[in-house]
């Protein structure tokens, strides 16, 4: 009977404990021994470090997460770009999914395929959420994917996805776009049949501005998510989902399996988006409970989208997912919002349940970032210890030695945060179990 990799790993560690304990007598010894130092600007050191890391994860991995310690960090984005190139060139990856709106990213994927818009400027706003299209590193990566796909020698063309829900941190989209996508799909097969339904849905949707009021995040009375029209729209959406499933053989035959599954995914997002709006309008008994529920819904949408993307890439290649550390980690996510500590299950926790050993995740950490108001890490903190060795960057496996140094890890103090970038979260002792590897930049 075969045993999980973790069991055999533990056995191999046990067999070598005397030698390993001597070699890694302290936490700092373990970090120094496990680190694979590299420079992003040195293809030789970078590729060797990436290959060592990917080989250690095993061939079973079909979805690799790369977390970012904060949004907008140029060095982290540069790391992501170089990593994706190496994964494509040497490790069988065929798709990139980033923390950006799922429906918007369709325009970017058309662009990298050589269809649709002729310039990046045409998709930099409409094809991304959160303003991510205006980041130079994102443009660089999209243009590289487009150039790669244009080469006739590359039989497998790369795909670009957004796996975020159609929401922002302080607001959310109207469900109009995702519902209309499904309605358009059904109309392309049977134009007359869906006319009455479209009219009903449009009357229930009302004004997009009423759905997208950012003040509703903090004031539930401003949300329309539990209005009679919104409730009726949720029922209409369930009816659409039921029809898609009941008519699957017919719909696939009249379109194709790819278009059908895409429509099903859009319908599922519409359902969860309406649930999100309902949660915004709901009364909560505990401070922060309503927002934490919304964060949980958002991350579940992320996880579902990534599961869909992995299924789309089956037989073509593997998927790299890029998002904030807090979305991809395996344990519970936490966010201190004012006086409220918000706790929810992130996408990574759901993905870990679905994919098990087929999901692996790399977290990132920073030493100093003047641009983001992050000073030198305080002595004794995890970031200080991780950046003490050769650099300017290094990959560090988190599982090896974690058990040997559990007490030392648990006692580590937390470093101070950022004075400029509220999306920066320092590492915690949990980070060594939430991630398989850490990419640590000076």
| Cα–Cα distance, 134 to 124 (Å, whole number) | 6
Half-sphere exposure of 117 (CA within 13 A, CB side): 16
Residues 6 or more apart in contact with residue 292 via CB below 8 angstroms: 342, 343, 344
- pLDDT tens sequence for the chain (442 residues): 333 333 333 333 333 333 444 456 788 888 888 999 999 999 999 999 999 999 999 999 999 999 999 998 999 999 999 999 999 999 999 999 999 999 999 999 999 999 988 999 999 999 999 899 999 999 999 999 999 999 999 999 999 999 999 887 667 899 999 999 999 999 999 877 888 899 999 999 999 999 999 999 889 999 999 999 999 999 999 999 999 999 999 999 999 999 999 999 999 999 999 999 999 999 987 878 999 999 999 999 999 999 999 999 999 999 999 999 999 999 999 998 888 999 999 999 999 999 999 999 999 999 999 999 999 999 999 999 999 989 999 999 997 656 667 788 888 899 999 999 999 999 998 998 999 999 999 9
Domain boundaries, the chain: 24-170+314-408
pTM of the model: 0.92
Answer yes or no: are the C-beta atoms of 96 and 160 closer than 8 Å: yes
Domain 24-170+314-408 has CATH 3.40.50.11550: yes
**Average pLDDT value over all residues in the chain:** 91
């Amino acid at each position: 009977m075969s045993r999980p990799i973790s069991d055999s790993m533990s056995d191999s560690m046990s067999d070598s404990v005397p030698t390993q304990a001597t070699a890694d007598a302290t936490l700092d010894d373990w970090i120094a021994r496990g680190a694979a130092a590299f420079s992003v600007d040195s293809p030789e050191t970078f590729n060797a470090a990436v290959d060592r890391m990917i080989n250690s994860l095993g061939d079973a991995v079909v979805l690799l997460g790369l977390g970012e310690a904060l949004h907008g960090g140029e060095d982290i984005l540069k790391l992501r770009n170089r990593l994706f190139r190496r994964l494509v060139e040497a490790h069988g990856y065929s798709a990139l999914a980033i923390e950006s709106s799922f429906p918007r990213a369709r325009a970017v994927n058309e662009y990298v395929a050589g269809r649709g818009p002729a310039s990046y400027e045409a998709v930099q706003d409409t094809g991304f959420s959160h303003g991510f299209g205006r980041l130079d590193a994102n443009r660089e990566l999209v243009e590289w994917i487009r150039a790669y796909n244009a080469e006739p020698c590359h039989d497998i063309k790369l795909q670009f996805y957004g796996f975020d829900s159609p929401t922002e941190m302080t607001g959310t989209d109207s469900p109009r776009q995702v519902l209309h996508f499904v309605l358009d799909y059904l109309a392309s097969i049977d134009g007359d049949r869906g006319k009455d339904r479209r009219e009903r849905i449009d009357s229930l949707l009302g004004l997009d501005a009423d759905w997208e009021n950012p003040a509703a995040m903090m004031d539930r009375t401003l949300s329309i998510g539990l209005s009679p029209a919104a409730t009726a729209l949720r029922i209409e959406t369930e009816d659409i989902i039921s029809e898609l499933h009941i008519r699957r053989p017919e719909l696939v035959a009249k379109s194709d399996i790819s278009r059908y599954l895409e429509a099903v995914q859009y319908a599922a997002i519409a359902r969860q988006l309406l649930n999100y709006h309902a949660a915004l309008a709901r009364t909560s008994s505990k401070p922060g409970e309503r927002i934490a529920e919304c964060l949980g819904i958002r991350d579940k949408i992320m996880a579902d989208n990534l599961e869909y993307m992995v299924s789309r890439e089956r037989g073509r290649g593997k998927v790299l997912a890029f998002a904030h550390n807090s979305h991809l980690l395996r344990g519970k996510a936490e966010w201190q919002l004012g006086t409220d500590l918000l706790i929810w299950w992130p996408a990574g926790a759901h993905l870990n349940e679905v994919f098990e050993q087929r999901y692996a995740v790399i977290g990132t950490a920073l030493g100093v970032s003047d641009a983001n108001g992050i000073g030198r890490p305080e002595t004794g903190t995890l970031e200080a210890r991780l950046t003490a060795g050769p650099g300017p960057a290094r990959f560090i496996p988190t599982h090896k030695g974690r058990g040997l140094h559990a007490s030392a890890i648990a006692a580590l103090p937390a470093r101070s945060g950022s004075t400029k970038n509220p999306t920066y979260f320092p590492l915690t002792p949990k980070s060594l179990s939430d991630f398989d590897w850490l990419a640590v930049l000076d």
